[in-house]
Structure 1
């Protein structure tokens, strides 16, 4: 705006005309300016490979492949004279995976790891202003990325990396495309006065090929073990077992460097963590009796756990081997016995089912 003030004065018979001008520059209001909003996608995750070593080693927090190249993108754009002065923000679309972080070796920066929808594979994302080379993480709450001013456009630099969050067995894993964060720009430090609309940051789909070594069951994979017939009178109270028993063996061949663990699971009652199998529906009449399994020469019966190879699984037990072991052939002996489980017993046929899951650590 221009304003002109004119004053006329007379000095010693002369007419003097004086002009003064004032210029007032009016800047557009960032909150009301017509800023267009663009969503952005990190599209270069592509195909990655990962060597998990032994199949059930836990490499949580270990990178899968490399960072994507830093991608610079405009998120909010206005006219050439649209002026932005304020703050930019990012917020993760879901909560980080508890107990897992990724530390970037070049910067020392620690990143929260977010789920991808694929078990034991997560993603980390770095973000900064489009003109800043040092990227940083964000959280599941609005995190300030940048503050400053700009003409015409506002954007970000972003990059992503896949991260192992648990053991990965050999195979090919497909990571779906997904939104990983919301983005906003505001004219206030409280983050409430928006410039343009809230935008999204996504990652494209990716494929991860995992290699890992494991053992091979060479004998005894599926077995039916028949126990001898016994009389109710052979039992002498809860927890007692008659001498009648039967045995079976399982054999495995393992490559060098594997510590072998196992978990037995009650197939009838998978949540059972006790030390005797519950009777299956095929059992007729018999009550007050269960079946116990003794493994690898132990004098204590096996306690059962979930059907999982995850290291540290409930009631997982050590079979043998270590990181320094040579290639090893295992022959694991098992003994099966009846056990009295209630004060009152009823005669009848007995059937129980168990599975065994090996863990290669």
Structure 2
């Protein structure tokens, strides 16, 4: 009986020893796990982008860069993670804006002016662009400049002050939370859009249609060879030009662009009119608006031409002159 009793006591002691040993092991394991699952973010100083006064010249195409600034890297440590932990860099556009039709370019408060932010191949987007996962043990340094571009997004950009306070922010995401790394603020930026204007290079144009025999006309609507009307303007890119032909129409014909001959002090020809045609030999309607748009800063040539047009069965010889006025508007 005593042996049996001693055995039971020793067995209980062993159980107690095992129990305490097990508790210690569990506590140690729990402590190690908590220490390893950790990242630390070292916030970088805020950066401010100051473009100052920026002029949007007419030769900048839609999608072109109006102005660009490079924000230097700090070269400081941004974050570090212990073994067993991980996270992602998130590149956020801070203000509420829609992406334009140009990839990675976002609207501003000024129509036709967009902004794009890029660092190390990652665009700042809304809600964000994510980097690949960073798995510890690891560390990252702010070693790449951040590029901020102002982009022309339409042919008619708006002038004014960019009303953006915080432009973008770079965060490190771990443990289900965002941790700010660096913020990018927009300083004073004023957009200036010069007034677009054209210069008329040919204020007065004369087209010599030459002399012609009446026998050259073979019937109503027959014509002579066309002669160029060199109406030329110097215009910047993106401007829209509107031209209106004003003259006394020859009602003897339904053909567009037919101008009645000016009476001569000697003898006026009959049975013909002077017709103004475009580059495709289509009559230019009198009193209607024709539209032109130079794609690049250039000399804009209307491509208009003049020719004689037979309007009656019989063509009689005489002076055959006419005049017209071309009114030009642009915007």
By the TM > 0.5 criterion, same fold? no
Q: Higher helix proportion, which one?
A: 2
Higher CA-based Rg = 2
TM-score by length of 2: 0.45
- When the two structures are superposed, what TM-score results if normalisation uses the length of structure 1? 0.42
